[in-house]
Structure 1
């Protein structure tokens, strides 16, 4: 793709999830004075990860787990992402009394029961899956059997209907999984925080390095301004958030925003950067991702 110039809008891609539409509402709608104009596209995180790996797009919301493959072409921006505490991915199974995927297979009641079983995940380059692999290496002797990638909104129905033995879920599923008759087998946020003491790195904002240092500073300023405007006037983005989360209960959307839009969204800071570095260093040490010499 030809690098963007001031003569055309920058491409900006993020998910339709409430935290992203809340954060980027002001910038996407031209409400930030002096901010670079943008053409916005909404896509599931697995799609944006793939676009980043192929070098498609100027500014993208991606998983922190994909950074080792894209940092040569893209810079990690210090704002707009998703980190936090108490917001990690969950490993879900059917409620007690259910059966396994295969006829006659025992129910999954403990982490060790996942040995040789089928797990649905929201993307092979997702941070959720990277955390799952780190956790499973310690808690699932012999490893899981099959991993299947599904859009995150399809994972809980797949677990409920017995098409998979367990599912790795993100986002608002933290608040709704009981509605599907599912139970929490593990909270990977609790695992991560208890093991490292760091907040959980989930989503990152990256921008094409070829835009140049001045343009990257403009983009960073625009994102921060959009975050602060969202906080100052949260009602302004309601219609936009709802338009892209039509099937989500408004109360759940509010919980989603409150959980994932926090101080790290406005500024990654030393604490957030240390968390990302810890994740990628641990993963590289286990051969799960290529080494990352620096995060910038």
Structure 2
């Protein structure tokens, strides 16, 4: 039995449905722990973490000595970045100078993108940055408890229900700034395991999901945290793409650019970028 941890989000359950349910010939039997990425980011940094995990690309610098990057099964793409939201419409980002902002994690790609964006767009600097469960951020912004919130996941599709205003789509900013896709979530595996074999059955599970999308629907909705089928389908369409099947050169360049810039700004520990491809 191989222990694996990934989130209950529709993109992850879509990707791993076939492997979890014994529909992929070469996949091992999987013991699944469903955990949001903010939890797996820290769990992976501990020695007792499971053999295979889904974490944020931003957490890689803390874990690459023990885990290898698997070049498929993750979330990386265009038009799928986190959003910065406020209660009232503001003229530009400098209005957030010295203000309190909530983020869903301080070890996530969303957080790195936010900090890199803020350094460029808010030269006077932010005020307090607080970590808050992502489902609490939009209500807190709506109530005026915080000046702005960084949101991820399905909040892209629901923030207008809270009468909130978009300050910046950090995915669009990143793509304009670099020309590269956005690295969000990545699959990692213990270094003593055969990474090529793991990549093969994960790729097979991805392709099976695309070929037979109807088979995974009940599994996806069982774990979809009260999302509607329409929102779950939009989530999958946005986060499961060509990079999920294979990171490719663009994918690796995006990861190296994000983590290289973050390392230069002191947002992540120093590490050898070559470990990303080993």
TM-score scaled by structure 2? 0.96
Per-residue Cα deviation, 1:87-125 (whole angstroms, up to 9, x for no partner): 1110011144xxxxxxxxxxx542111111111111100
Corresponding residue for residue 76 of structure 2: 83
SS at match of 2:73: coil
Contact 1:198 1:271 in 2 (8 A): yes
Q: Select the residue among 13, 17, 23 that pairs with 2:5.
A: 13
Corresponding residue for residue 107 of structure 2: 125
For the aligned residues, what is the CA RMSD?
1.1
TM-aligned CA deviation for residue 126 of structure 1: 0.6
5+ residue gaps, structure 2, are none
Larger radius of gyration: 1
CA distance in 2, matches of 1:246, 1:201: 24
CA distance in 1, matches of 2:36, 2:253: 26
Corresponding residue for residue 100 of structure 1: none
Per-residue Cα deviation, 1:3-35 (whole angstroms, up to 9, x for no partner): xxxxxx111111111101110111111111121
- Count of aligned residue pairs for this structure pair: 274
Kindly indicate whether residue 191 of structure 2 is the aligned counterpart of residue 191 of structure 1.
Answer: no
CA distance in 2, matches of 1:95, 1:137: 22
Kindly indicate whether residue 129 of structure 2 is the aligned counterpart of residue 147 of structure 1.
Answer: yes
TM-aligned CA deviation for residue 253 of structure 1: 0.9
TM-aligned CA deviation for residue 271 of structure 1: 0.9
Contact 1:281 1:292 in 2 (8 A): no
Corresponding residue for residue 27 of structure 2: 35
CA distance in 2, matches of 1:176, 1:109: 22
CA distance in 1, matches of 2:202, 2:235: 19
Kindly indicate whether residue 257 of structure 2 is the aligned counterpart of residue 265 of structure 1.
Answer: no
TM-aligned CA deviation for residue 238 of structure 1: 0.5
SS at match of 1:26: helix
Q: Select the residue among 55, 58, 81 that pairs with 1:62.
A: 55
TM-score scaled by structure 1? 0.90
CA distance in 2, matches of 1:161, 1:43: 28
CA distance in 1, matches of 2:75, 2:252: 12
CA distance in 2, matches of 1:262, 1:292: 29
5+ residue gaps, structure 1, are 1-8, 97-107
Contact 1:10 1:36 in 2 (8 A): yes
Contact 1:81 1:204 in 2 (8 A): yes
